[in-house]
Structures are given as C-alpha cells and as structure tokens.
Amino acid sequence: MSNSTKVVQKCRTCGGDLIFNPSQNGLVCKRCGNFQSINGTMTAEKTFQTLLDSAPTWQKDAVVLRCEHCGAKSVVSKFDLVAKCDYCGASNLVKTEDRPGLRPDTIVLFNMNRAEADKQVANWLSKRLFTPSQFKHQLKNRELKGVYYPAFTFDANVTARYTGTLVQTNSYTVTVDGKETTRTETSRNSIADVDTQTFDDVLILAHEQEIKPQILKKIQPFDTNHGQAFQQTYLAGFTVCQASKEPQDCWAEAKLTMEQAIRNKISSRYIGESTTFENLHLDLDFTNITYKYVLLPLYIGHVEYKGTKYPLYMNGQTGKICGKTPKSFWKILFTCLTGGALAFGLGIVLAMLF
C-alpha cells in the first residue's frame, strides 16, 4: 500500500492545470501553454534536534483517498477531483481519515520530462534481446508516472572506540621421519584503538511499500547536495508519496549503516592473507548530526504480462533504470540454434583452411 500526494496548480491565465517542466525549470499550462517561472533557492542541512522537535505541518487542507482495487493511497487537495488511481487506473476511490506527515526540506528536481524518459525506456528495452516483443510494445505504450519519494539524508562525525582479537595463523613445513608435514601455529592478540569517520548524506528511504531499499540502490546516486529548497509549485503534475516510517526509525537505520561501514573499515585494516579479526566490539559516539528531509524523483511504470506484474523504476535525475522483464523461450531457442549453426559453419571453414 502506498501513501501519495497528487499536487495540482492552476494557470493564472486560463485556469488550466499547470505541470512542472524540468527542461524549462518552470510551470507550463497544459491548456494554453502559458509559462510561469520558479525562483528556486539552495537548501542546507538542519540539526538533529530540529528533526526531533518537528511536527506534521504539510498540507493541512488535504484529504487521503484509498483505492479499493489495489489499496494505494493518494493525498490530494480537498479542492481537487481525482477520477482514477495513479497506480492501477481504477476509479473506485474512497476518502479515509489519514493525515499527511512532515513538510520536506529539499527537493531533487526531475532532470527530464516524460518524453525524454520514454526515450530512455525505449533504449533500455532495445538492449534486452530475449524480452518478448508483445511485452516491449505494452511497456512502450504504458504511461510513466513521475513520483517523488521521501527520504532522509544524515551527516555525522563518528568516533569509534573498539576492541577485538587479532588472530594470526602461520603454516610451515617440517620433515618427520623423512616425510614433509604441514603444521599450523595460531597466535591471538588483543587490540584496542580509536577510529574516526565523517559521513555525508547517508540516504535512508522513508517509504518502502512501493519501492524497496535494494531497488533504490540500483538506481542511485541522487545528487541531494544540489537539491532545491522545497516549494509546492515544483510538484505540479507529479505525485508525492508520503513517508511511512518515523524520522527516528530512519535515523536508527542510518546509524546501523554507519556502524557497518566502520566495522568494514576497521576489519579491512587488520585482515590479511593469514590474519583475521574476531570479537570486534564498538563503542560509537555520534556528533554534529544534521539531516535533510528530501524528495527524490522517480519515474515508475508497470506492465502485467501473462498474470505477472513487472515494475520499472527510473532515476528521474540521471535516467538510470531498474526493472525486470520476462524472457521469450522462442527468442532464446532461435539464438541458440543460430549460434550453434554459426559455430558449426565456422568450424567447417576453419577445417577447410587448415
């Protein structure tokens, strides 16, 4: 189930719907073509205490609609009439009592419009030789949806006091009764030291119903350092997913990510061909903690093919794509047969030449 916001801005000239155009960095009316510029500003991290003190303040005049068909939730302006679900296209939407969450600090803008995104998908599909032609046709004609997903980025200085056991194993050969024998000696030494590390923009997704962390990793990076200060006008024509995780839970995940990075760093310092590091214990001190609550741009689409749904995710900033496609048995068979025939023919030619 997903929580999402569909934002609608109206044209000052004709009253038509405005959409944000990434290539023009402004709003364009779908009806009359009127252009409205946006004065953007850069954003900066906030202190962690600010996060702890934050309260839900975004879109007090919104209502949450739930799709009875797929369960997806869309948060819309109470003045906006939504006819269909953004995710499955069904029209049976009902009002719920849910409320939106924190107001974002930063927005990473889409760097391409839908037409440019469609070209990226076509190029991506052209490289999948075994994908059924019918599936390719369905995906090419499937409307990509521009969606902003919420995430937190955390910065911190971490001091790690650690202890552990350095295990060194040495093997050598001796001769006993005229026969060579391999013997092994193991030594153990206690280690205690201090390590420091600075982390910048550890990214934690705040919404995981529709997109999983492993998918996000495949389409990263997002340049969050050059994000714009959040303005609702940037969202015109796009959907915004609401956070499904508490900020404190996201910070807990970020700390685990930082801890694992420190463990890897310390272990790699000592581990060698004959050396291992055991019983690593960390005492971590986090200081200078700052964060940004950001919206990440993604184009999403899915095709249902022979009873199976195949989702596609695209980084709206870089065009990087993650998705699975079905395989055509006949295309694979044809490739194997033609490949085998070519190999057989090449073998005959080589035999004739040599």
Of the pLDDT bands very low, low, confident and very high (cuts 50, 70, 90), residue 162 is very high
**245 or 85, higher pLDDT:** 245
Assess if residue 92 is contained within a domain: no
Looking at the chain, the whole-number percentage of residues with pLDDT higher than 90 is 25
Do the Cβ atoms of 210 and 300 come closer than 8 Å? yes
The whole-angstrom separation of Cα 212 and Cα 216 is: 6
In total, how many domains does the chain have? 1
Report the 10 Å Cβ neighbour count for 199: 19
Looking at the chain, the whole-number percentage of residues with pLDDT higher than 70 is 72
Assess if residue 39 is contained within a domain: yes
Phi, psi of 119 (to 5 degrees): -65, -40
| Cα–Cα nearest to 211, from 301, 128, 117 | 301
Do the Cβ atoms of 44 and 62 come closer than 8 Å? no
Print the domain residue range for 110. 3-59+100-170+176-323
Given the structure tokens 């206690």, which residue do they identify? 190
Assess if residue 184 is contained within a domain: yes
Assess if residue 15 is contained within a domain: yes
> For residue range 40-69, what is the model confidence (pLDDT) as tens digits?
665 667 787 777 776 555 555 556 667 777
pLDDT (average), residues 295-307 = 84
- Which helix (H) or strand (E) segment holds residue 50: the answer is helix 48-53
Does the pLDDT at position 17 exceed 80? no
Assess if residue 337 is contained within a domain: no
| Cα–Cα nearest to 4, from 88, 66, 83 | 66
Token pair of 317 as six digits? 């900033």
Assess if residue 194 is contained within a domain: yes
pLDDT, residue 49, reads 77
Of the pLDDT bands very low, low, confident and very high (cuts 50, 70, 90), residue 1 is very low
pLDDT, residue 285, reads 97
Of the pLDDT bands very low, low, confident and very high (cuts 50, 70, 90), residue 255 is very high
Do the Cβ atoms of 140 and 134 come closer than 8 Å? no
Of the pLDDT bands very low, low, confident and very high (cuts 50, 70, 90), residue 199 is very high
pLDDT, residue 79, reads 47
pLDDT (average), residues 189-197 = 94
Does the pLDDT at position 147 exceed 70? yes
Assess if residue 343 is contained within a domain: no
pLDDT, residue 62, reads 55
> For residue range 338-354, what is the model confidence (pLDDT) as tens digits?
655 555 455 544 444 44
> For residue range 68-122, what is the model confidence (pLDDT) as tens digits?
777 666 655 554 545 566 656 566 666 665 555 678 889 999 998 888 888 888 8
pLDDT, residue 43, reads 66
pLDDT (average), residues 307-330 = 82
The whole-angstrom separation of Cα 135 and Cα 325 is: 8
Assess if residue 338 is contained within a domain: no
What string of DSSP letters covers 301-347?
A: EEEEETTEEEEEEEETTT--EEE-----HHHHHHHHHHHHHHHHHHH
